[in-house]
Structure 1
């Protein structure tokens, strides 16, 4: 269970599965459409103690099922940053997959504007904020939406065959899809100073090489990219390589910042 400090008890957004209160950096983990904070439990367990992992639970799912989903990514970023402010005693880094990558970028934009240090953004499985596609999966009927989930292989097939589970998860999955598909970065707020590391799968139908490379346009800091074999959920098969890469990225940026 995550640490039950007063800060945690009052905050449904932040889950700390392996608290590291003395760590010099905090890694905020943001899940894909339909995902939850628990998706990052392996990340929290595998990260070195120099990184305090904060996994974010979006409204509208699991223990937050009684709350309305947030269908606008900019609104979600505003809400998230408000919840992160009490944690700003140490610098943040971000790790987001798919929808979470866009949200990580928008949160970093807002934190930097507020004068809060962001040490890096790891954007996984998502095209750059300036690269748009006309996608309307969120408007499909339930059967078509399920087929899309099956195609991406990111959801347990047993869940997709259980009517009761589907009744619980499809509403927030659809809302997340809407937020991701309608997202557009805002002119004048489409770049950060923090370095960006992009992770992609070589067979991901949602991210082309050019769409991934375009993330370099959204930072005045360092840009790097790593490509792995696999589709949209390539990271499920490459955790042993990806988690150390994230830790190294955060460590390298901490050294650049002059923190020992």
Structure 2
């Protein structure tokens, strides 16, 4: 019997390895991490800086790997924004996810970002530190910064230049998660405007990368989103 496919969409600066902390807890799924060019397994490819192009790239990866079985999408931060667009694109081809799980993101039209990707290195690094999630070693190594800053700038440009008003509601149920220290976390229910079916949400204690502190809880939500759909969305 084929397992449920779970496609994972990484955050800014992330790659196909970003969700490995969840893998041992998701035995019911065929876990398929997808990643944008310029990092991880796609390190030799050109970085993408446009939201539509990024969504199209992720869509193509997912569409090619669908095996006819049920599937779900989970994206954190930038990955959440891309997951909504990709869900809409898949639905247009009559490929409807069982669930769309999003975290670290209040959804479209809740926040206008400044052009952080255009900041000088010192200010940009401070923004990265505020978000958390990056190891101290990154900021202590010029070589690591030289490698990661272009990736982060490209990903921030993807997020900050997208036109949120173009996002349409999907048929897929949405479950949203955020940390209570994240800016605008009280607007988490905004995600309910972007599904035509069921919506639910949960606030965790923590900042933007709270996900690393709650692997068991997040894995349980992912499992429930498929196994007990009625429960998680009530």
- Are the counterparts in 2 of residues 150 and 157 from structure 1 also a CA contact under 8 Å? no
Query: How far is 1:144 from its partner?
Result: 1.1
Cα deviation digits, residues 143-187 of structure 1 (max 9, x gap) = 111111112221011112100111111101100011111222354
The equivalent position to 2:195 in structure 1, one of 196, 211, 219, is: 219
Matches within 5 A, 1:47-86: 47-48=26-27, 50-86=28-64
Asked if residue 92 in structure 1 is aligned to residue 75 in structure 2, the reply is: no
Match of 1:45 in 2: 24
Partners in 2 of 1:70 and 1:252 — Cα distance? 37
Aligned-partner Cα distance in 2 for 1:112–1:28: 15
State the alpha-carbon separation in 2 of the partners of residues 222 and 254 from structure 1. 9
SS at match of 2:18: helix
- Structure 1 residue 191: deviation in Å? 0.7
Kindly indicate whether residue 216 of structure 2 is the aligned counterpart of residue 240 of structure 1. yes
Give the Cα–Cα distance (whole angstroms) in 1 for the partners of residues 81 and 8 of structure 2: 12
Q: CA RMSD in A?
A: 1.9
Q: Which protein, 1 or 2, shows the higher relative CO under an 8 Å CA cutoff with sep ≥ 6?
A: 2
Distance (Å, rounded) in 2 between the aligned partners of 1:115 and 1:254: 22
Counterparts in 2 of 1:1-260, with a 5 A limit? Answer: 22-23=2-3, 25-48=4-27, 50-89=28-67, 90-185=69-164, 187=166, 189-205=167-183, 207-210=184-187, 212-253=188-229
Whole-Å separation in 2 of the counterparts to 1:252 and 1:78: 31
Please give the alpha-carbon distance, in whole angstroms, between the structure 2 residues aligned to 1:135 and 1:190: 24
Q: Structure 1 254/54 Cα, relative in aligned 2: closer, same or farther at 3 Å?
A: farther
Unaligned runs of 5+ in 1: 1-20
Deviation of 1:224 (Å): 0.2
**Structure 2 gap segments, 5+ residues each:** none
Residue 255 of structure 1 and its aligned partner are, at CA, apart by 10
Give secondary structure in 2 for the equivalent of 1:122.
strand
Q: Deviations over 1:68-89 (max 9, x none)?
A: 1111122111121112222222
Question: Would you say how many aligned residue pairs link Structure 1 and Structure 2?
Answer: 231
